[in-house]
Chain A
Amino acid sequence: MPRLIVIRPGMLTTIQDLGRWGHQASGVPVAGPMDVYSHRRANRLVGNRDDAAALEVTLIGPELEADADVVCAVTGAEFQIDAGGTPIVRDEPFTVPAGARLRFGRRLAGARASLAVRGGLDVPCVFGSCATSLISGMGPLGGRALRAGDVLMTGAAPTDAPDRAGESAPLRLPQGGARLRVMPGPHRHMFTTEAYDRLFGSRYTVTPDSNRMGYRLAGPALTHAAGADILSDATPIGSLQVPGSGLPILLMADRQTTGGYPKIGTVITADLPLAGQLAPGDWIEFAACSRQAAIDALAQQERALERARR
């Protein structure tokens, strides 16, 4: 099977699948891609299952050398990319010829690209998943990001992979910021009405002190009705937790399993891929959303992923 040799690792390139579910009760974080939609789509473009291990590229992309022809696809954030000097079109499968280098250049839009290879990356699983959890050091490569000199094995292409790559819709990338829909709660009773007015009526900024665990946001402080501490409970992805400072933190893919701050709301699942494409300096506006609208949006997104070539 072809191998990829890491020449330059990029700023933060990690191996991800769809996450390590089912062990949070033992403190095992889920991890997984920041933009699940683009991860699944990149895998489908090369004929993989949605949960195959692929690379998540952050802001500054890597340079990788293939030791044999390897079929790849890049989705999500838009970069200038070439394979052995030939420009690569995003959102379509392409081949990196044996001995050639796949180079990520200038970033044009979005924050994170998914790079899938046919057959997926062949890396060891921990608790049934090969997602990289940076906080717990769990996953392939000892749970760390790629380094120069790492060698990544690719797996055998599944023979039963459904032909469903097609021209599914790419994720619409944020242009300087994004409007994210939020379901209030679960600690609605711990915030004042003014806090909700402020959350839904203000513009926040993703600060440089943000990472795969969460985005620390700058903007108007949100007032607690009674105290800023709760007894630790589970912290779903998309949670907007509000510590004593009143400045919300949007919990992302690499979040811890539990936390001790009240959560004013939760970004809906359909908007998490878009959130995953935000970079420090980008703005966020929050809009209230009902559960039914959230599920409708998710179903619509699923259809966009399924849409076949005509």
Chain B
Amino acid sequence: MTALVDFELREAGDSALVLALPERVDPLLNAWCIAVAGALRDSLGSGVRDVVVGYCTVTVYFDPLASDPAWLENRIRALAARVLRPSGSGGAAVDVPVCYGGEYGPDLDEVATFAGCTAGEVAVLHSQTAYRVYLLGFVPGFAYMAAVDPRIARPRRSTPRTTVPPGSVAIAGEQTGVYPGATPGGWNIIGRTPVRPYDPSRPEPFLFRPGDLVRFHPIDRSEYLRLA
């Protein structure tokens, strides 16, 4: 545990407040946001409608006719001041099998060209890092993870696909993620996993939580088909 964190409180309209830290992809700042979000959920109870973690923000949604915003600001400041900066990840370890390239990874070759290496080397670089889940967003179960090796950190595609197959594993700059369902998407698709990030039939429908540490491991096509 180290020093407290400096933050700013910003208005996002009349029904949301944003607690904002210095804007950078930083595991410690994000861990603090997750801890603060937990403290706010526990302490503010029915006074708030939702608490959402960003990379370096916590957004609190409330009904301004039920909770006075000035009072809420003071409560948030007081509660946040009591949260120490966590030292570790605090999340679970999650293993995600991926079949890289081929029909499952239509953009793997472009990422390889970007990196100046082979497709196989991209798969190695992508799977040898443990990624932190910074936040979930976009659609149910989509986890924003970082940080991708700078060599394969190809920026998002200029024209997004209108639909991306569920389970697609993709890269956008230093971020990586797994598409939970068939949605539009602009990230570079390098492979596919048979594991579903969101499955309402599981006791725990969401595979990832903010703060988790995720490792991808390469599988071949027959293994993919066996697991799918």
* Chain A residues in the interface with B (C-beta under 8 A): 21-30, 126, 135-138, 183, 185-186, 188, 230-234, 236, 238-239, 256-259, 263, 266-269, 291, 294-295, 298-299, 302
Contacts and interface: CB of A to CB of B under 8 A. Distances in A.
Contacts of A138: 140
Contacts of A256: 137-139
B203 interface: no
Contacts of B137: 24, 27, 232, 234, 256-259
A25 B138 contact: no
Contact of B14 (A26, A135, A257, A294): A294
B135 A236 contact: no
A137 B143 CA distance: 18
B26 to A, nearest CB: 10
B37 A25 contact: yes
Nearest to B20: A186
Nearest to B136: A27
Contacts of A298: 14, 64-65
19 contacts: A24-B50, A24-B52, A25-B51, A25-B136, A27-B137, A27-B142, A28-B140, A29-B140, A186-B18, A231-B57, A232-B135, A233-B55, A234-B12, A234-B16, A257-B136, A257-B137, A268-B14, A291-B11, A294-B64
Contacts of A24: 50, 52, 61, 137
A26 B139 contact: no
Nearest to A301: B65
The interface size bin for chain B is 35 or more
A230 B21 CA distance: 12
A75 to B, nearest CB: 21
B66 to A, nearest CB: 11
Given A186-B11, A232-B144, A135 B139 contact: yes
Report which residue of B13, B61, B210 has the largest number of chain A beta carbons within 10 angstroms of its beta carbon: B13
Contacts of B4: none
Contacts of A234: 12, 16, 18, 52, 54, 57, 59, 61, 137
Contacts of A185: 10-12
Interface string B152-191: 0000000000000000000000000000110100000000
A295 B65 contact: yes
Contact of A294 (B10, B13, B25, B135): B13
A183 B16 CA distance: 11
Contacts of B218: none
Given A186-B18, A231-B55, A257 B61 contact: no
